[in-house]
Amino acid sequence: MVGQRADKPGQVRLAMMGVAEGHTGKGIGKQLVQALIAQERERGTKRIELECITINEPALKLYLNQGFQKYRQLSGWERDPIPEGEFQQNPDLKQVEVEMVREIAKKHMAPDLAWQAWNAWSETKTHDAYQLGNTYAIITKPDDKNSDKVSLTSLFVMPEYRRQGQGERMAKALLALCVGKKVMVGALFPREYGEEMAAKLGFRDTEIQQFHLEMNL
């Protein structure tokens, strides 16, 4: 399955590919990838990208052998349930509409993020959005009694206010809402974006990490 986005003409994402059980190891995956590349060249596509789990060595080898290159590593982080009192609630944190934050994100988030990152918060009914000064975030509902975890799906600072500690301030305010719950960040974002903050706030790497792969045609 190949995905397209209106804001990225000439680019596609390999969203899904699989070989049925019992038919692996017969070169079918290689044939599928080669057919995809040929098809997209014919259509005038300029770039193909995809995400591949780092420990899926057969798939990673297949893509690299067909000419894809590692663009960057996408990392996820997690931490144990937040104990009472570790983080203080911030009175300046306010809940806002998910749709509003989604529109702001489209304008100001890095344009080269993996496509999965842009889809992480598409389901508004299961997420809440917050604003703290010039920083915005989207998380799964922390008051959901049917879940023992909260997922942070988006956190960004307006461009002119970055590298001032505002992202960490927002993260602490969000963690204060998550007492008694595990918190995780899916492996959707470049490692360099969150590695330092994650370490400061007691997160560890998730088992699943990904590579963002690309091919320019």
Domain 76-211: CATH architecture, name and number where available: 3-Layer(aba) Sandwich (3.40)
Q: Give Dmax over CA atoms of the chain in angstroms.
A: 60
Q: What is the pLDDT of residue 57?
A: 94
- List pLDDT tens digits, range 100-128: 998 888 888 777 788 777 766 666 788 99
Asked whether residue 36 carries a pLDDT value surpassing 80, the answer given is yes
Q: What is the pLDDT of residue 123?
A: 64
Q: List every span in the chain annotated with CATH 3.40.630.30.
A: 2-74, 76-211
- List pLDDT tens digits, range 135-164: 999 999 999 999 999 999 999 999 999 989
Amino acid (one-letter) located at 122: S
What SS3 state is found at 63? helix
- List pLDDT tens digits, range 56-98: 999 999 999 999 999 999 999 999 999 999 999 999 999 999 9
Asked whether residue 130 carries a pLDDT value surpassing 70, the answer given is yes
Q: Which long-range contacts (CB under 8 A, 24 or more apart) does 58-61 make?
A: 59/29, 60/211
The CATH number of domain 2-74, selected from 3.10.50.40, 3.40.630.30, 3.20.20.80, 3.30.930.10: 3.40.630.30
What SS3 state is found at 50? strand
**φ, ψ of residue 159 in degrees (nearest 5):** -50, -45
DSSP 116-164: HHHHTT--GGGEEEEEETTEEEEEE-TT-TT-SEEEEEEEEE-GGG-SS
- List pLDDT tens digits, range 20-32: 677 677 788 899 9
Query: What are 200's two structure tokens?
Result: 């400061």
Residue pair 17/176 in contact by the 8 Å Cβ criterion: no
